[in-house]
Amino acid sequence: MHPAPSVIFFTVFSGLGFGLLTFLGLGIPDVTGWTAFAFFAIAYLCAVGGLISSTFHLGHPERALKAFTQWRSSWLSREGWCAVIALITMAIYGAGLVFFGQRWGLFGVIGALFSLLTIFTTSMIYTQLKTIPRWNSPLTPAMFLSYGLAGGALLAGQITWAMGLLAISAVIQVLLWAKGDGALAASGSTLATATGLGTEGGVRAFEPPHTGTNYLLREFAYVVGRKHSLKLRIIAIVLMAVIPIVLLAAPFSHWVALLAVVSYVGGALASRWLFFAEAEHVVGLYYGKR
């Protein structure tokens, strides 16, 4: 799959933002006034910035409101609803904390729930696709949720939570890679089933339908950089989990925490790039590519 920067940026930062909102909604850390304002500002910057970036890959962003209509069937539509509900309830909850020094707990809990649901629905957009066997696994939502919560805990300054969640994210990530590498083969889709012609090995792509490239090849048969995947995987895990955990284990200072966040974001971006670049779409079979 083509790793579109807008979508990579969107999934990483909105995950981070909604992860932080989940913690804030549950009153972790218990802040009011200007401190609360700072926390909420960071959360909204990440969450809303991510959402805005996601509209950059739309052909017609001016019609984006139509995407709210199909929540009964479409995960993308559900994601839109969850994000809006989470942002509105958390805005009310945040206003209470910042301006009135009040904790309206019910709003916080509902906001936290919908923040989590936003991360989950985002992940389901990818998980639901049987055409991309690497994503079509319960490990995909587990990965998105653990990344979002780990990043949220990091931004919320919750050292113990962050260390635990980062370690869990790393484990889930490694499992997802391990399972993903065999997913296309396990899916049972081959050039033989795609064409109905003979047995596997007996059929071979001879000539593509077009001499130039096309939308399908650009979007689905992205292979650039796959040969570096092992190196990138190591870089992603080290940046995303190992360095932040080591930094958090050191005596706390704001600079060290900031460094941990920067390292985490770098690792998460690398991992998300791989998530797309390594994903094989079954349509590649028709072209003898994967």
Partner 1 sequence: MTTLPQSTTRKLGLVIDLDTCVGCHACVISCKGWNTENYGAPLSDTDAYGSDPSGTFLNRVHSFEVKPPVLKDQPAPEAQLIHFPKSCLHCEDAPCVTVCPTGASYKRVEDGIVLVNESDCIGCGLCAWACPYGAREMDQVEKVMKKCTLCVDRIYNENLPEEDREPACVRTCPAGARHFGDFADPDSNVSKLSAERGGMDLMPEQGTKPVNKYLPPRPKDTLSEGAGDIDILAPYLEPVAQEASGFLGWLDKTLEKL
Both tokens of residue 200? 């596997």
Cα–Cα distance, 46 to 40 (Å, whole number): 10
**Is 136 an interacting residue with respect to partner 1 (CB under 8 A)?**
no
* Site string (221-260) toward partner 1, x via CB under 8 A: ----------------------------------------
Dihedral sign of CA atoms 127, 132, 133, 135 in order: negative
Which amino acid, residue 108?
A: G
Q: Which stretch binds partner 1 (CB under 8 A): 31-39, 96-104, 182-190, 228-236?
A: 182-190
Q: Which of residues 28 and 216 has its CB atom nearest to partner 1 in the complex?
A: 216
Neighbours of 276 (CB within 10 A): 18
Q: Is 244 in contact with 264 (CB distance < 8 Å)? A: yes
Select from 82, 86, 117, 129 the one that contacts partner 1 (CB under 8 A).
129
**Is 3 an interacting residue with respect to partner 1 (CB under 8 A)?**
no
**Is 198 an interacting residue with respect to partner 1 (CB under 8 A)?**
yes
* Site string (21-60) toward partner 1, x via CB under 8 A: ------------------------------------xxxx
Cα–Cα distance, 115 to 99 (Å, whole number): 22
Return the SS3 of 104: coil
> Using CB under 8 A as the criterion, which residues of the chain lie in contact with partner 1 when the complex forms?
1, 57-61, 63-64, 66-70, 72-77, 80, 125, 128-132, 187-189, 191, 193-199, 202-216, 219-220, 281-283, 286-287
